[in-house]
Chain A
């Protein structure tokens, strides 16, 4: 709620069409809110409590372009959280004073002129410094990537000019002269790319990219500024990168055999053993640093490890190419030639492969990490993704003796792709819902759990708990029915037919479990909590126990127990309404969720759908795949260019011995495939390996904590990984074939 007519609010929300609300019966909507409600300017929307509002404006939040926003005047909805916009400038001292009162303040004056690091809160010390280190390391990785690609391009150039460089040597040029010529190529390439990039960036930023970037980050630019010093630094970085990229081609060109080069022969390329040894040493060092720093959760160290490992792999690539080329004899002609050509031209092929590998390692490792973390979140869930729960708002926090009306279940069945619908109730104690759970028998209970000590464990107790097998997994939090998070498990009251779904029972366990529930037993999915056919129901803050007859079923995703309403009453408990729970045949859409909310009406119910928080993850993965794809395509294009520079004579020979015109395309396709395929394969293997090492190290790090967080599962997102592994090399190969003429050349010797 904000009064957009007040000049003080200028810039917070922009009115795109219509006007801002001037009465409490009017609202302005964001485009997404209009799409979701179907309302347009002049139309009306109805809130859950049945109030109608006229839509008078289309608005946009500059800081959240994709938000579903409804802007109303202050006071339209009572009991809402309040924020004040103040004209008084707030300096750092005033912000700290407000903080002492529990008020969060965002001060323009402090943002513009931040306090010194020493004057900030001690908890935040070092945060910016760490970020700066990480940025430097990421920039280092980017320079490595650019140097590899540019190095490949320069190697192609040096190969094309092999004879010219040999002529320079033949007329008296020293190796240093040749080196300088190739290094000058690097400087020119860097300078041109800096100039091109700068002008392209200015044009793109001014004309094209702004709407694209704004759309991607879902925020409007505050302003567009150009920093000459930063641009000059970037230009210098481009020149230095070009120079670095030219080092290896320059060194190799200066050492080439002049007679061989003048005669047009290609010479033999051999890998130097010392580079392989150095590469393997760096890989081993990088892995060791990575494992060490991952256990200590030092992000900068992990990035350093990544850079060291990647440089090591880059140095190993030529030797690996040589090794792979030996396997060429079993391959078809085109692939054999492509593989051996890549091996012969390692100066250009190895950096191109390394560039692909480097990009793919990053993309794959991050995608594995993100997917594993998403999977870890999913595993905390008691049910499965897509489950629907409907709570009556009044039921949470106080006991409501009446059931949720059957119309709720009917609304769920009518609006959602529901498979099963069950009403779930809770035990009630002392006039409120008691979030009961099951305690293990005393001899099996962790002596440091909250149930036993009724407080947070001390450090010494945590260390002792780590050594005690009874404490394994104790205190690990799980999420139940969309609203409740419990570290102790959860006990619900439901009809026996709900057991199949709640415990995800195998077929053979369904009948005995339902029979046990009808017999008045409490079913629990942890046999360890049952002793002599009994379990202990814990209720209240002191976890007071009540024994009950028990039936154990196999463990499922989260610790859970259930009983029937009759059993609860027999044991002396009251029963309170809690939620209507539905499993679904597929993930419900947002529109279906909105339809259910609308069908329930009146603002009495809260609808929850268990959705993966994957949208951000998925977007990150897509961007990573895109970057890896662009680099792979660039590297493959360079490799094909190299092959074209070097292979004209081979094509003539192939024509003479009767190769079909399509073989030229096949050869280009294979050359691109070798670079993109080997790079993708090595990158995928190294990326999965890095992520595995990192996840394992993180899990080892968890071993020192108690309560122990759920271990990171090792989940490989094969769909995402198939992109760098198969799709991008496939596109590179098709592109190479598409841009290669099929006609084989004829050399004229007149």
Chain B
């Protein structure tokens, strides 16, 4: 079953003369085991696409479906529950909650859902991203790469099948960034679906498919190993 589907999605920010078409009729499908990279210049609508896919924002028109369910049909509370159970986010700026430990950050979606023994699952998730022994450290006591791995562990804890990563390597050095992408790739290979927003063609090369956005429109879609060609396209 398709994990994420965008059907002719439009998103207009503002109104009147100041209206901006952030997305203009975008359609996209992401299947299980597929990593889709979204590329494009600044202001092309990449983050808007991710926010819509995660139910953090609503389209002006069109439909966003996750696991076959239209997100517009859900209330704010239901959307929140949907994010807790099915969607994982990874941000560029290492969005961990500073006052929670690594394990608490990872367990956060489960805690919010009232799951007991979330700590044990969080420790297991941390171990999967090679962070054994870091459970009780606060974000400020970890490096950027370690923090991003905590964010990935949080994005994948439980039974989530969709990971939305917004330039997850933007704040990392190239070596650490590569480690993070390898981790993401391995999770996708294990059955998850992921959308990766990136500016970097080398990072997009980890994807099965690259969607190129410009001015809110999908201008091209390439299969693996083609992003560098796309970037050179005028």
Contact = CB atoms under 8 A, between A and B. Distances in A.
Interface of A: 264-268, 329, 332-333, 336-337, 340-341, 343-344, 649-650, 652-661, 663, 743, 746, 748-750
Given A336-B99, A656-B83, A329 B112 contact: no
Contact of B99 (A341, A656, A750): A341
A746 B100 contact: no
A746 B99 contact: no
Given A266-B140, A661-B77, A749 B92 contact: yes
A657 B89 contact: yes
Interface string B68-100: 000000001100111111010101110111111
Contacts of B80: 655, 658-661
Contact of B140 (A265, A657, A658, A659): A265
B76 A749 contact: no
Contacts of A266: 98, 140
B48 interface: yes
Given A650-B98, A661-B76, 14 more contacts: A268-B138, A268-B140, A329-B101, A333-B100, A650-B99, A652-B95, A656-B83, A657-B112, A658-B81, A658-B82, A659-B112, A746-B57, A748-B48, A750-B48
B111 A749 contact: no
A652 B167 CA distance: 16
Nearest to B90: A656
A746 B112 contact: no
A344 B47 contact: no
A661 B46 CA distance: 25
A275 B166 CA distance: 43
A269 B42 CA distance: 36
Contact of A656 (B76, B91, B111): B91
Contact of A750 (B47, B100, B104, B154): B47
Contacts of B51: 746, 748
Nearest to A652: B95
B56 A656 contact: yes
B43 interface: yes
Which 10 A/B pairs are nearest by Cβ-Cβ distance? A658-B84, A340-B99, A658-B83, A656-B89, A653-B95, A749-B47, A660-B80, A657-B109, A746-B56, A268-B140
Interface in B6-52: 22, 42-43, 45-48, 51
B128 interface: no
A717 B170 CA distance: 60
Contacts, number: 95
Nearest to B87: A658
Nearest to A649: B95
A658 B79 CA distance: 8
B230 to A, nearest CB: 20
B54 interface: yes
Given A657-B89, A661-B80, A750-B47, A333 B99 contact: no
B113 interface: yes
A659 to B, nearest CB: 6
28 contacts: A265-B140, A266-B98, A266-B140, A267-B140, A329-B104, A337-B100, A650-B97, A652-B95, A653-B91, A653-B97, A657-B112, A658-B80, A658-B83, A658-B112, A659-B84, A659-B112, A660-B76, A660-B80, A660-B112, A661-B76, A661-B77, A663-B112, A743-B76, A748-B47, A748-B48, A749-B47, A749-B166, A750-B43
B42 A750 contact: yes
B108 interface: yes
A746 B42 CA distance: 18
Interface in B112-168: 112-113, 138, 140-141, 154, 166-167
B216 to A, nearest CB: 10
A673 to B, nearest CB: 15
B99 A660 contact: no
A750 B113 CA distance: 31
A513 B47 CA distance: 91
Interface of B: 22, 42-43, 45-48, 51, 54, 56-57, 76-77, 80-85, 87, 89, 91-93, 95-101, 104, 108-109, 111-113, 138, 140-141, 154, 166-167
Given A265-B140, A750-B22, A657 B98 contact: no
Nearest to B56: A746
Contacts of B99: 336-337, 340-341, 343-344, 650
A380 B100 CA distance: 58
Given A267-B140, A341-B99, A660-B80, A655 B47 contact: no
Contact of B98 (A344, A654, A748, A750): A344
A336 B100 contact: yes
Contacts of B57: 746
Contacts of B87: 658
B170 to A, nearest CB: 9
A660 B77 contact: yes
B169 to A, nearest CB: 14
A83 B177 CA distance: 96
A416 B154 CA distance: 72
Contacts of A267: 140
A264 B140 CA distance: 12
A265 B171 CA distance: 12
B134 to A, nearest CB: 15
Q: Which of A268, A344, A659 has the most CB of B within 10 A?
A: A659
Nearest to A333: B111
B56 A655 contact: yes
B119 to A, nearest CB: 9
Contacts of A748: 47-48, 51
A16 B149 CA distance: 81
B116 to A, nearest CB: 13
Contacts of A656: 54, 56, 83, 89, 91, 95
A659 B54 CA distance: 13
B88 to A, nearest CB: 8
A266 B100 CA distance: 13
Contacts of B43: 750
B140 A337 contact: no
A661 B76 CA distance: 7
A266 B141 CA distance: 12
Contacts of A333: 100, 108, 111-112
A654 B97 contact: yes
A652 B99 CA distance: 14
Contacts of B167: 749
B1 to A, nearest CB: 21
A748 B89 CA distance: 14
Q: Which of B47, B57, B95, B154 has the most CB of A within 10 A?
A: B95
B98 A658 contact: no
A748 B54 CA distance: 13
A649 B18 CA distance: 27
A344 to B, nearest CB: 6
Nearest to A743: B76
Contacts of A652: 95
Contacts of B98: 266, 344, 650
Given A267-B140, A657-B84, A658-B82, A336 B113 contact: no
A658 B97 contact: no
A343 to B, nearest CB: 8
